C-alpha cells in the first residue's frame, strides 16, 4: 500500500511541474502584423444599371524643363518681363523676343537676355473671349485672351486680361503673380492702363 502511495505522489509532482512550466508567461509579440493597405482614392459609383460605372480619377505628373528659357520664368517671379535678343552684331534682327528663344530664329546664334523696364505698357492687337477652355487651361472662364504689342518686340505674345473689357489699340500694363507664383507663363497678365 505504502509503495503505491509514493508512486502516486511522484506522479502528482510531475504533473505539477508540467503545469508550472506551462504557466510561465510567453513573451508578448510587440511587432505588429504588417498588412497590405489600400492607399488609393475610393471610386464613386456613377450608375449601377445596366452596368456598374465608376469614376476613377487618374492623374500624372509631367516633368518639364524650361532649359535655357529658365530666366524668363525666374523673371516673372520677380515681377520682370525678360526677352531675348540676338547677340550677333551681323544679324538683321535687332528686336526682342517674347516668348523667348534660346537661339536666334534668323542666324541661330545663342541669344542674350534683356529685362524690359517697368511698367511694361503694351497695346491690344487682338482679343478672343474664351468661354469653353480646353482641358488643362487653369484659368476660370470666361476670360479675355489678348495678343499684346509690346514696344521693340519682334513678336506679339498671347496672354490674358485680368479684368475689364478689351478693345483694339487699348493700352494695357503688364502685372505679375509674384505672390504664390504658378511658375508658368500664367504668372504675367495684363490690366487696363489709363493715363
Ligand atoms: Zn540673329
- Å from CA of 33 to ligand 1 middle: 67
Ranges assigned E (strand) in the chain: 44-47, 53-55, 82-86, 111-115, 121-130, 143-149, 158-161, 171-176, 188-192
Strand-pair partners of 86: 111
Distance 107 CA to ligand 1 centre (A): 4
| 92 CA → ligand 1 middle, Å | 7
What spacing in Å lies between the alpha carbon of 66 and ligand 1's midpoint? 21
Task: Tell me the CA–centroid distance for residue 111 and ligand 1, in Å.
Answer: 8
Distance 97 CA to ligand 1 centre (A): 11
Give 69-114 pLDDT, tens digit per residue.
999 999 999 999 999 999 999 999 999 999 999 999 999 999 999 9
Report yes or no on whether pTM surpasses 0.75.
Answer: no
Neighbours of 133 (CB within 10 A): 14
- pLDDT per residue over 136-161, tens digit each? 889 999 999 999 999 999 999 999 99
Amino acid at each position: 500500500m505504502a509503495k503505491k502511495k509514493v508512486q502516486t505522489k511522484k506522479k502528482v509532482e510531475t504533473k505539477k511541474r508540467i503545469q508550472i512550466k506551462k504557466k510561465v508567461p510567453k513573451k508578448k509579440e510587440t511587432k505588429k502584423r504588417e498588412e497590405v493597405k489600400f492607399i488609393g482614392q475610393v471610386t464613386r459609383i456613377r450608375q449601377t444599371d445596366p452596368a456598374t460605372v465608376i469614376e476613377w480619377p487618374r492623374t500624372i505628373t509631367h516633368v518639364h524643363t524650361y532649359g535655357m528659357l529658365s530666366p524668363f520664368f525666374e523673371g516673372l517671379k520677380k515681377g520682370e518681363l525678360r526677352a531675348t535678343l540676338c547677340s550677333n552684331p551681323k544679324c538683321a534682327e535687332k528686336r526682342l523676343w517674347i516668348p523667348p528663344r534660346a537661339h536666334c530664329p534668323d542666324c541661330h546664334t545663342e541669344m542674350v537676355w534683356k529685362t524690359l523696364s517697368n511698367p511694361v505698357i503694351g497695346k491690344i492687337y487682338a482679343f478672343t473671349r474664351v468661354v469653353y477652355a480646353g482641358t488643362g487651361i487653369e484659368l476660370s472662364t470666361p476670360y479675355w485672351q489678348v495678343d499684346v504689342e509690346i514696344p521693340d518686340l519682334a513678336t506679339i505674345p498671347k496672354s490674358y486680361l485680368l479684368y475689364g473689357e478689351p478693345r483694339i489699340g487699348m493700352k494695357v500694363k503688364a502685372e505679375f503673380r509674384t505672390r504664390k507664383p504658378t511658375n508658368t507663363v500664367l504668372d504675367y497678365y495684363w490690366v487696363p492702363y489709363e493715363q
